[in-house]
């Protein structure tokens, strides 16, 4: 399992009710269900991924987060997870609002466009950056709204969203992000993980 | 339809008050079972059939000598694995395969015809509930069915919220739409316009309203297929001829196909039953039973739901299936949903659609492991 998933799992206490938005093949869901007794649901847009979740015995709803989150009542989950997908929505702000309405807390992870390798790629090669967390070409990437850790940090602050934890991940290294180290973390982390609440 | 010796029947002694206000008692429910009930009695699956189905889910149907209607899904090692599960299916009341219906005799030994009480989906499931007592089953492992079978699934779990662990409505709706009612009315009008119908008082096979019933079936059959599926299968292909004949014989293969579907249906189905069952479907509106709030229908159950729709089903389209998902999510129920890609229309649930069958199998088997 990805290190990112381990970090997310560590943020969640046992026996909670959790919704994984864009749950893909259900790897994280299965881990949470088996190891933390989580009452877990998934929302996934790809029919193939939905089938993979069903084959793992997971409860998954085929749907689109931009349209289908509205059916869940306010604060009906302890945590809502959104892993590396916020940038792929037409309207990320609306999705973020919905995550925080449906979940008592939300865990959002962001592939960091401020990561030094991304910056170097654009600066020296002069082409759109391709990295481990941004593997696609410019013409086939699902990412519509790339942002940096700094962008996201400022964005949630401006929306009066409470940040409980913000973590920077670089391969296996996990560290805490705060106002004073934001510039450094924005350069050296390829992934930001935020535990937030509104 | 002289197959009485192959039909297992439960006589229900307990009076059943119908939605129309009448009460029936000592009435027969014809059923069939597949696989065996285990000692814990926790492996039973109640399957509900659709409009023209019957209790003969799989294997050879003794009445038609053809494969049962859900042979692709039910049987040893299939999606609903009869090596593992005990499958029960019964003919709905109002039907014509042995359960109490309009072709039965009233207490004065006169065939009911249209004097049979009008029944509803609610009446059907209340009648079938007696099978649980009959088999000594406290809780079913699953209930499932497509189309009208799905309506019965929804009504059953609403009426008996703690009697099923898993609930699988397929290609269905919680409320019959105007378009659904319109197509059913077309079928009913075809039957009642047949001079042999005689206000429902036809008695022998020679004088039954076969032409009307065949037209009803032909019209309905179109609604079970998709435009793309029809086009790919038939297109404008001609039926055993080189060119158009400039007449009204079946020039096109699709005409010939529909005529055939109509004619074989008449041999196995009773016209009055067709009126009664389509009426029950039209009256189905589960939300209305709960003052317009569908979620209320499910608020007392802890069952795990899995809802399946098909991309090309325009009779009970994905959105109507999703409305059920939405109602369940709004009360925090355990519900999964998948829309299966298929160009086979509403009939997809009856056919060899691998993604559908594997989803059904995986859901059942994984849920049973967690039992």
Q: What is the pLDDT of residues A125-162, one digit of tens each?
A: 999 999 888 999 999 999 999 999 999 999 999 999 99
Give the tens place of pLDDT for each residue, B17-70: 999 999 999 999 999 999 999 999 999 999 999 999 999 999 999 988 999 999
Residue B201 has pLDDT above 50, yes or no: yes
Catalytic residue among B81, B142, B251, B346: B346
The residue in chain B having the minimum alpha-carbon distance to the alpha carbon of residue A49 is B338
Q: What pLDDT shows up at residue B2?
A: 42
Q: List the one residue out of B196, A28, B346, B238 whose CA is nearest residue A44.
A: A28
Stated pTM of the model = 0.95
Residue A40 has pLDDT above 90, yes or no: yes
Q: List the one residue out of B145, B160, B151 whose CA is nearest residue B45.
A: B145
Question: Cβ contacts (< 8 Å) between A55 and chain B: which residues?
Answer: 358, 362, 366
Q: What pLDDT shows up at residue A132?
A: 86
H/E stretch holding B297 reads none
One CATH from 3.40.1350.10, 3.40.50.1820, 3.40.50.720, 1.10.3720.10 for B4-177+285-369:
3.40.50.1820
Give the tens place of pLDDT for each residue, B259-272: 999 999 999 999 99
Helices B210-223 and B178-192 cross at an angle (nearest 10°) of 160
Q: Is B346 among the catalytic positions?
A: yes
The residue in chain B having the minimum alpha-carbon distance to the alpha carbon of residue A17 is B332
Residue B140 has pLDDT above 90, yes or no: yes
Q: Is B313 among the catalytic positions?
A: yes
Q: How many CB atoms lie within 10 A of CB A125?
A: 10
**Mutation target vs B (from A52, A63, A72, A76; most B CBs, 10 A cutoff):** A63
The residue in chain A having the minimum alpha-carbon distance to the alpha carbon of residue B366 is A57
**CATH code for A3-112+145-197?**
3.40.50.150
Fold topology of B181-278? Rna Polymerase Sigma Factor; Chain: A (1.10.1740)
DSSP A120-157: HIIIII-S----SS--S-TTT---SS---HHHHHHHHH
Confidence of residue B138 (pLDDT cuts 50, 70, 90): very high
Q: What pLDDT shows up at residue B3?
A: 53
**Are A57 and B325 an interchain contact pair (Cβ–Cβ within 8 Å)?**
no
Q: Give the mean pLDDT of chain B.
A: 96
Residue B136 has pLDDT above 80, yes or no: yes
Residue for token pair 């000592």: B26
* Alpha helix stretches (DSSP H) within B69-209: 121-128, 130-135, 148-159, 178-192
Helices B210-223 and B253-268 cross at an angle (nearest 10°) of 120
- Per-domain residue ranges of chain B: 4-177+285-369, 181-278
Q: Which among A50, A61, A73 has the least Cβ separation from residue B330?
A: A73
Query: Strands A39-44 and A17-21: what pairing?
Result: parallel
Q: Which among A60, A73, A76 has the least Cβ separation from residue B336?
A: A60
Catalytic residue among B313, B342, B347, B348: B313
Q: Is B147 among the catalytic positions?
A: yes
Per-residue pLDDT, averaged over A27-54, amounts to 97
Per-residue pLDDT, averaged over B274-300, amounts to 98
- Per-domain residue ranges of chain A: 3-112+145-197
Q: What pLDDT shows up at residue A168?
A: 96
Q: What pLDDT shows up at residue B205?
A: 63
Tally the C-alpha atoms within 13 A of residue A138's C-alpha that lie toward its C-beta: 5
Per-residue pLDDT, averaged over A31-44, amounts to 97
Residue B1 has pLDDT above 60, yes or no: no
Contact indicator for A7, A174 with CB cutoff of 8 Å: yes
Give the tens place of pLDDT for each residue, B87-111: 999 999 999 999 999 999 998 999 9
Q: What pLDDT shows up at residue A1?
A: 84
Q: What pLDDT shows up at residue B6?
A: 82
* Alpha helix stretches (DSSP H) within chain A: 3-10, 27-36, 47-55, 65-68, 92-102, 116-120, 149-158, 182-188
Q: What pLDDT shows up at residue B81?
A: 98
Helices B271-283 and B178-192 cross at an angle (nearest 10°) of 160
Cα angle B327, A88, B337 (rounded to 5 degrees) comes to: 25
Question: Cβ contacts (< 8 Å) between A72 and chain B: which residues?
Answer: 329-330
Q: Rounded CA gap, B332 and B316, in Å?
A: 24
Whole-complex ipTM: 0.93
Q: What phi, psi does A107 have (nearest 5°)?
A: -115, 115
Per-residue pLDDT, averaged over B241-253, amounts to 95
- The whole-angstrom distance between B359's CA and the closest CA on chain A is 6
Among left, alpha and beta (phi > 0; psi -120 to 50; other), residue B195 is alpha
Q: Rounded CA gap, A65 and B47, in Å?
A: 33
Give the tens place of pLDDT for each residue, B156-187: 999 999 999 999 999 999 999 999 999 999 99
Q: Which among B326, B339, B363 has the least Cβ separation from residue A71?
A: B326
Give the tens place of pLDDT for each residue, A75-124: 999 999 999 999 999 999 999 999 999 999 999 999 999 999 999 999 99
């Amino acid at each position: 399992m990805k290190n990112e998933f381990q970090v997310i799992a560590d943020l969640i206490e046992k026996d909670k009710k959790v919704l994984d938005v864009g749950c893909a093949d259900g790897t994280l869901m299965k881990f949470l269900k088996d190891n933390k007794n989580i009452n877990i649901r998934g929302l996934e847009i790809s029919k193939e991924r939905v089938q993979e979740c069903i084959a793992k015995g997971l409860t998954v709803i085929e749907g689109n987060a931009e349209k289908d989150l509205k059916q869940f009542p306010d604060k009906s989950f302890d945590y809502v997870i959104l892993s590396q997908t916020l940038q792929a929505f037409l309207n990320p702000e609306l999705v973020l609002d919905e995550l925080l309405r449906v979940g008592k807390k939300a865990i959002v992870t962001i592939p960091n466009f401020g990561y030094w390798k991304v910056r170097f790629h654009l600066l020296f090669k002069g082409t759109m950056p391709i990295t481990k967390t941004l593997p696609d070409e410019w013409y086939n990437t699902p990412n519509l709204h790339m942002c940096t850790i700094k962008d996201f940090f400022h964005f949630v602050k401006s929306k009066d969203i409470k940040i409980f934890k913000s973590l920077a991940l670089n391969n296996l290294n996990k560290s805490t992000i705060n106002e004073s180290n934001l510039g450094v973390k924005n350069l050296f982390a390829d992934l930001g993980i935020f535990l937030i609440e509104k | 339809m002289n197959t009485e010796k192959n039909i297992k029947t439960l006589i229900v002694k307990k009076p059943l008050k119908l939605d129309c206000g009448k009460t029936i008692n000592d009435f027969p429910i014809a059923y069939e079972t597949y696989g065996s009930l285990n000692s814990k009695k926790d492996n039973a699956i109640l399957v509900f059939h659709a409009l023209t189905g019957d209790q003969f889910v799989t294997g050879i149907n003794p009445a038609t000598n053809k494969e049962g209607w859900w042979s692709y899904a039910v049987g040893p090692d299939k999606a609903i694995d009869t090596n593992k599960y005990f499958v029960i299916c019964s003919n709905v009341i109002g039907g014509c395969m042995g359960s109490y219906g309009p072709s039965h005799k009233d207490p004065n030994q006169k065939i009911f015809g249209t004097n049979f009480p009008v029944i509803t989906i609610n009446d059907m499931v209340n009648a079938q509930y007696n099978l649980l007592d009959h088999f000594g089953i406290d809780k079913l492992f699953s209930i499932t069915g497509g189309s009208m079978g799905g309506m019965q699934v929804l009504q059953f779990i609403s009426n008996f919220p703690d009697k099923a662990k898993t609930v699988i409505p397929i290609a269905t709706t919680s409320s019959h739409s105007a378009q659904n009612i319109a197509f059913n009315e077309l079928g009913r009008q075809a039957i009642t316009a047949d001079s042999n119908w005689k206000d429902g008082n036809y008695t022998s096979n020679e004088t039954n309203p076969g032409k009307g019933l065949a037209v009803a079936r032909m019209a309905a059959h179109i609604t079970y297929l998709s435009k793309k599926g029809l086009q790919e299968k038939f297109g404008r292909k001609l039926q055993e001829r080189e060119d158009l004949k400039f007449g009204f014989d079946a020039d096109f293969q699709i005409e010939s196909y529909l005529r055939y579907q109509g004619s074989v249906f008449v041999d196995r189905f009773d016209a009055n039953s067709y009126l009664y069952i389509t009426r029950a479907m039209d009256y189905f509106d589960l939300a209305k039973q709960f003052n317009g709030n569908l979620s209320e229908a499910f608020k007392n159950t802890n069952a795990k739901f899995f809802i399946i729709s098909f991309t090309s089903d325009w009779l009970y389209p994905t959105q109507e299936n999703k409305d059920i998902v939405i109602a369940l999510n709004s009360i925090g129920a355990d519900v999964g949903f998948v829309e299966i890609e298929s160009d086979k229309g509403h009939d997809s649930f009856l056919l060899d659609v691998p993604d559908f069958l594997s989803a059904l199998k995986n859901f059942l088997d994984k849920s049973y492991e967690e039992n």
